[in-house]
């Protein structure tokens, strides 16, 4: 998953990405997903849970990298 800025106001892209080889991508309309979340709260809850899981994993990985930069034990 690349990015979640479409999920939260002001809906502006903040990051980019680079690959070292071919990548198959799928682009979806953030506005359409947000509308679907509003129309179907169960869908919105599921989307939120899946994205928050990825955010948590990435934050924990970033924390570990930062701790390793300081030479602190992990």
Please say if the pLDDT value at position 71 is more than 70.
Answer: no
List the single range of 1-15, 27-41, 49-63 with lowest mean pLDDT: 1-15
Task: Return the closest-CA partner of residue 28 out of 8, 48, 4.
Answer: 4
CB atoms within 10 A of CB 36: 13
CB atoms within 10 A of CB 43: 13
pTM above 0.75, yes or no: no
List the single range of 5-19, 32-46, 55-69 with lowest mean pLDDT: 5-19
């Amino acid at each position: 998953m690349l990015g979640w800025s479409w999920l939260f106001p002001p809906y502006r892209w903040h990051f980019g990405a680079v690959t070292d080889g071919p990548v198959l991508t799928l682009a979806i309309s953030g506005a359409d997903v947000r509308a679907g979340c509003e129309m179907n709260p169960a869908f919105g809850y599921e989307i939120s849970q899946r994205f928050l899981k990825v955010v948590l994993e990435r934050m924990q990985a970033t924390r570990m990298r930062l701790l390793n930069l300081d030479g602190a034990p992990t």
